[in-house]
Structure 1
Amino acid sequence: MTTVSWQRAENAVIAIAVIVTTLVLGYDWWWLLALFLAFDLSALGYLISPRAGAQAYNAVHSYWGPAVLAVVALTVDARWAGLLALAWAFHVAVDRALGYGLKEGDSFQHTHLGWIGKGRHTPE
C-alpha cells in the first residue's frame, strides 16, 4: 500500500470517527452534510490567481481550523463551535479520503496526494 493510499484510508477512518462523535455528542448527523460545501467557498481564491486560490484552499482544508474550534468548544462550552469543528473536520477528512489534498499552487488539480481530475498525470 502506498503512502497516498494510507493517507486516504486514514482520512476515511477520521470521517467515520467524526460521524460517530457527532452522534455521541447529540448533534444531528445531517448538519455534516448541510455544512459540507460551505468550506469549498475557499476555492473562490482561484478567481484571483492559482497561488491565492491554493493558499485560501489550503488554509481551510487543514485540520488546524477544526482543532482550534474544538478547543474553543471545550473551553467555553460553545456547542455551535463543536458542531462547526466536527463539520469542518468531516469535510477535510472526506476530501482527503477522495484524493483531494492540499493544493501545490500551480494548478487546482495538483495536490499533495497527487493529481486529480480528467487530466491526471504523475508529477515529474
Structure 2
Amino acid sequence: MAKKKKQQKDLGSPILDETQPHQISSPTFKGTGIKMQEPFTNEHGVVIGDSFYDSPNSPLNNWSDEIDPEVMAGDEWVHPTNDIGWNTSENRELLESKKPPQGVPFMHPAKDVGYGQD
C-alpha cells in the first residue's frame, strides 16, 4: 500500500492523460470534453475518488451492528469521474457519444475501395 501512495505522490495526481489507470477496464474520458476531477474529502472526512477506499473515518473501516448503511447514501459518497458506475454499458455509450468521429474506416484519398461493392 505504501508503494501505491508513493507513486501517487510522485505523479501529483491519480489522473493520467484523462484516464484512471487503476481501473483496468474503465473507459477513458479522453476526447469527451469531460474533465477528470481530483479526489475530494466528503463531509464525513472520507476521501472519495482516490481508489484506495481506505480512509480511517470510513464506515467501511469502522463497521459494526450499530452502523446504518444509509449513512453511505447520497452524492457525497460518489465521485463524478472516478466511480465504478462508469463501467456500465449505458455510461460507456454516453462517453463514446461525446467523442468526435474518428473518420470513415478504409478511406483512401484517391481510390474508392467501395466501388462496385453495392
Please indicate, yes or no, whether the TM-score normalized by the shorter chain is above 0.5: no
Q: Which structure carries more relative contact order (alpha carbon 8 Å, separation 6+)?
A: 1
Structure showing greater radius of gyration is 2
**Higher helix proportion:** 1
What is the TM-score when the length of structure 2 is the normalising length? 0.28
